Amino acid sequence: MFFLTPRYIKEAKQYLHGAKKFLAYKRDILPDSRVSEIESLITDLRGAMRSRNRNEVSEAVTKLDEVIGKSLPPQKHAALRENIEVFLVAIVIAAGVKAFLIQPFRIPTGSMQPTLYGIVGVPTDTPPPNLAVRAFDFVVRGRHHFELRAKQSGYRRPGVCRQGQLQLQQAQGG
């Protein structure tokens, strides 16, 4: 049962798995002598795990770790690479926060606001629906129903306006 297995055996199993993976990934790069050395150390680790001797397991793991550590050349400029990666990730996150949360859009005039928010008036001749349909539309679709009525009936002709607008139209027209 796995919960009765000692911790050092569990850690040795994980280290054994990692060593096998390392050998599978780097077998074509490593010299044959190093591959055979790692394989023999993996076999030694398995034997130490079967004996369940904590000191033997610890020594086998340490030896395997040393050989694997010597097999990998140190990366050049590792600190510089990490710092550049951190700065690039920070810049991308900051740009994303700015673009999507802080300044998502700029509305130049108030007249554009209703269409931006999806508020579009559609004139109809039918009366607004009953209260149940309105509640359903509000909860499910996010729709609102308003009944707007003009104070007077009739048409407004473009030439008949308030005086300020008429003067503006005359100034623009000629």
pLDDT for 62 equals 94
Q: Is residue 166 scored above 90 in pLDDT?
A: no
For residue range 94-112, what is the model confidence (pLDDT) as tens digits? 998 888 777 666 666 767 7
Please give the tally of structural domains in the chain.
3
Do 15 and 62 fall into the same domain? yes
Same domain, 66 and 82: no
Q: Is the pLDDT confidence value at 84 over 60?
A: yes
Mean of pLDDT over the chain = 81
Here the CATH number for the domain that contains residue 39 is 1.20.1270.10
**Same domain assignment for residues 91 and 123:** no
Closest to 6 in 3D by CA, of 43, 39, 53: 53
Instruction: State whether 166 and 116 are in the same domain.
Output: yes
pLDDT tens digit sequence for 41-73: 999 999 999 998 999 999 999 999 999 988 888
Q: State residue 146's pLDDT score.
A: 75
| Helix boundaries (H) for 118-162 | 131-136
Same domain, yes or no, for 19 and 66? yes
Which of 46, 71, 96 is the last residue in one of the domains?
71
Identify whether residues 128 and 166 lie together within a single domain.
yes
In this model, does residue 168 exceed pLDDT 50? no
d(CA 71, CA 124) in angstroms, rounded, equals 79
- pLDDT value of position 152: 72
Residue 10 and residue 67 in one domain = yes
User: Of the residues 18, 47, 71, which one is the last residue of a structural domain?
Assistant: 71
Higher-confidence residue: 167 or 33?
33
CA torsion through residues 89, 90, 92, 93, sign: positive
Residue 151 has pLDDT above 90, yes or no: no
- In order, the DSSP letters of 38-103 are HHHHHHHHHHHHHHT-HHHHHHHHHHHHHHHHHHSPPPTTHHHHHHHHHHHHHHHHHHHHIIIII-
Using an 8 Å Cβ cutoff, are 145 and 128 in contact?
Answer: yes
Residue type, 44: D
Helix (H) and strand (E) counts in the chain: 7, 0
Q: What is the pLDDT of residue 119?
A: 65
The answer to whether residues 66 and 9 belong to one domain is yes
Task: Answer with the one of 104, 125, 159 that is the final residue of a domain.
Answer: 104
Residue type, 33: S
Q: What is the spatial distance between Cα 49 and Cα 57, in angstroms, rounded to a whole number?
A: 6
Going by the DSSP 8-state scheme, the letter that residue 129 receives in this structure is: P
Residues 123 and 171 in one domain: yes
In this structure, the answer to whether residues 120 and 173 fall within a common structural domain is: yes
Residues 94 and 43 in one domain: no
Reported pTM: 0.46
Look up the domain containing 81 and give its range: 75-104
Question: How far is it, in rounded angstroms, from Cα 167 to Cα 173?
Answer: 10
Whether 94 and 62 map to the same domain: the answer is no
